[in-house]
């Protein structure tokens, strides 16, 4: 049992956390109350796609409610409620403190468009909020806390290659690092075909997974696929990893498309990029594979050797509006410079 230290007035901390790209996806919840997933998932934390968040706890009691600013705009409605709900959890863990908070958050990539912005956002929020209250939680404990705000955020508490264990409760549904970032210098090239916010959030979509007739088949197939991905990462074998991550991305979107109501995140540009990647690999021998999170944008996974050529080819595709690149990165960092 820990005893939380009483913080000084206006306790403040700032954290930066990377997004992640899942090789085996998280889609669907066994217990929506605590974001308990239907299966384990494996991801690569990204170095250059990140969220920076400052949390300033108003220990002097000047604020009547939480003040939340995201990318320069005051958050309202469901966005604000989701952040406040997460702060409520941390207030409870800190001994039912009643401090309100000023939260300022900035992303360096488009939000809510299939690039896992909620993963980096809730990882950064968790680390900053806990640090500002000087709560003595380790990364594993904070992984479980971040999961409550966004399931995939549990993975962004660690760097490199990470597996989130399905678990059975708050204590066991946590992430762990498989290998550090420097173990394998893969590249994630994000072909951005849309920066618009998706019409149905991932949070809402998870609850619809069980309505698809294909959901149970996907979940049942994942035991072997998870082991294939672990082995491929261990051996740094992209030709072994690539087909599995493509298969699971397509299976997940198949579940989305056949849920009730149907979720169709893809746009024409999504298909153009998928067909191009297959053509480049099959006809030209480029070792590049695609995966897609809950959105229209396509992640291209490759070795650094092929990055320049792939970037050149993506520029020729009419539907690609921009390209974002990243390699594997470390876990969250506390920063000295604050956003407030």
Quote the strand ranges of the chain, DSSP E.
Answer: 12-24, 29-31, 36-37, 41-58, 67-70, 73-74, 100-107, 161-164, 175-179, 187-192, 288-291, 298-302, 322-326, 333-335
CA gap 198, 296 in Å, rounded: 8
pLDDT band at 3 (very low <50, low <70, confident <90, very high): very low
Q: What Å distances lie between residue 4 and 93, 146, 157, 245, CA to CA?
A: 9, 19, 21, 42
Residue range 187-326, CATH number:
3.30.70.890
pLDDT recorded at residue 167: 97
Are 37 and 26 a contacting pair, CB within 8 Å?
yes
Instruction: Report, as an integer, the average pLDDT of 276-287.
Output: 97
CATH for 12-181, among 1.10.3720.10, 3.30.43.10, 3.20.20.140, 3.30.230.10?
3.30.230.10
Q: Where are the domains of the chain?
A: 12-181, 187-326
Q: What is the pLDDT of residues 193-221, one digit of tens each?
A: 998 888 888 888 999 999 999 999 999 99
The DSSP code for 98 is -
The two structure tokens encoding residue 300? 């291209």
Contacts of 138 (CB under 8 A, 6+ apart): none
pTM score, two decimals?
0.94
Phi, psi of 325 (to 5 degrees): -125, 150
Are 183 and 165 a contacting pair, CB within 8 Å?
no
Quote the strand ranges of 59-99, DSSP E.
Answer: 67-70, 73-74
Residue 84: pLDDT over 70: yes
The two structure tokens encoding residue 291? 């995966």
Q: How open is the CA angle 293-46-84, to the nearest 5 degrees? A: 70
Which H or E run includes 205?
A: helix 202-206
Q: What is the pLDDT of residues 238-249, one digit of tens each?
A: 999 999 999 999
pLDDT band at 112 (very low <50, low <70, confident <90, very high): low
Bridge partners, residue 57, by sequence: 101
Bridge partners, residue 12, by sequence: 56
Q: What is the pLDDT of residues 40-83, one digit of tens each?
A: 999 999 999 999 999 999 999 999 999 999 999 999 999 999 99
Instruction: Report, as an integer, the average pLDDT of 12-35.
Output: 97
Instruction: Report, as an integer, the average pLDDT of 312-325.
Output: 97
Q: What is the DSSP string of 284-325?
A: H---EEEE--SSS-EEEEE-GGGHHHHHHHHTT-TT--EEEE
**Any idea which residue has 């579940």 for tokens?**
255
Q: At what angle do helices 238-257 and 215-235 cross, to 10 degrees?
A: 160
Residue 114: pLDDT over 80: no
Residue 121: pLDDT over 60: yes
Are 147 and 41 a contacting pair, CB within 8 Å?
no
CA gap 109, 102 in Å, rounded: 22
Are 156 and 45 a contacting pair, CB within 8 Å?
yes
Q: Is 164 helix (H, G, I), strand (E, B) or coil?
A: strand
Q: What Å distances lie between residue 166 and 54, 98, 138, 228, CA to CA?
A: 30, 32, 19, 17
Mean pLDDT of the chain: 94
pLDDT band at 9 (very low <50, low <70, confident <90, very high): very low
Instruction: Report, as an integer, the average pLDDT of 4-8.
Output: 47
Q: How open is the CA angle 191-195-199, to the nearest 5 degrees? A: 120
Q: Is 327 exposed, middle or buried (0-12, 13-18, 19+ CB in 10 A)?
A: middle
Q: What is the pLDDT of residues 164-177, one digit of tens each?
A: 999 999 999 999 99
- What whole-number percentage of the chain has pLDDT above 70? 96
Residue 279: pLDDT over 70: yes
Residue 1: pLDDT over 90: no
pLDDT recorded at residue 109: 87
pLDDT band at 10 (very low <50, low <70, confident <90, very high): low
Residue 8: pLDDT over 80: no
pLDDT band at 2 (very low <50, low <70, confident <90, very high): very low
Instruction: Report, as an integer, the average pLDDT of 118-122.
Output: 96
The two structure tokens encoding residue 87? 């702060």
Q: What is the pLDDT of residues 146-155, one digit of tens each?
A: 999 999 999 9
pLDDT recorded at residue 196: 86
């Amino acid at each position: 049992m820990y005893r939380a230290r009483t913080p000084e007035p206006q306790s403040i901390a700032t954290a930066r956390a990377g997004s992640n790209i899942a090789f085996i996806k998280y889609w669907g919840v066994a217990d929506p109350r605590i974001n308990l997933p239907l299966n384990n998932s494996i991801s690569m934390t990204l170095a250059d796609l990140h969220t920076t968040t400052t949390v300033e706890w108003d220990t002097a009691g000047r604020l009547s409610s939480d003040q939340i600013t995201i990318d320069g705009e005051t958050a309202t409605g469901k966005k604000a409620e989701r952040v406040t709900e997460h702060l409520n959890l941390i207030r409870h863990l800190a001994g039912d403190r009643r401090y309100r908070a000023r939260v300022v958050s900035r992303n360096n990539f488009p939000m809510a468009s299939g690039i896992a912005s909620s993963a980096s956002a809730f990882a950064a929020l968790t680390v900053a909020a806990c640090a500002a209250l000087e709560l003595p939680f380790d990364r594993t404990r904070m992984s479980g806390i971040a999961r409550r705000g966004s399931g995939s955020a549990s993975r962004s508490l660690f760097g490199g290659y990470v597996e989130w264990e399905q678990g059975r409760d708050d204590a066991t549904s946590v992430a762990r690092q498989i290998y550090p970032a420097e173990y394998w210098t893969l590249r994630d090239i994000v072909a951005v075909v849309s920066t618009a916010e998706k019409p149905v959030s991932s949070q809402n979509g998870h609850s619809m997974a069980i309505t698809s007739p294909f959901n149970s088949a996907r979940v049942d197939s994942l035991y072997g696929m998870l082991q294939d991905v672990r082995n491929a990462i261990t051996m740094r074998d992209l030709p072994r990893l690539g087909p599995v991550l493509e298969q699971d991305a397509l299976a997940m979107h198949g579940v989305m498309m056949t849920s009730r109501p149907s979720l169709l995140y893809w746009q024409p540009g999504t298909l153009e990029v998928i067909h191009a990647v297959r053509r480049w690999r099959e006809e030209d021998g480029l070792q590049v594979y695609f995966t897609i999170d809950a959105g229209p944008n396509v992640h291209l996974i490759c070795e650094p050797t092929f990055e320049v050529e792939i970037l050149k080819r993506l520029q020729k595709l009419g539907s690609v509006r921009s390209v974002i690149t990243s390699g594997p990165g470390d876990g969250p960092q506390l920063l000295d410079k604050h956003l407030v």
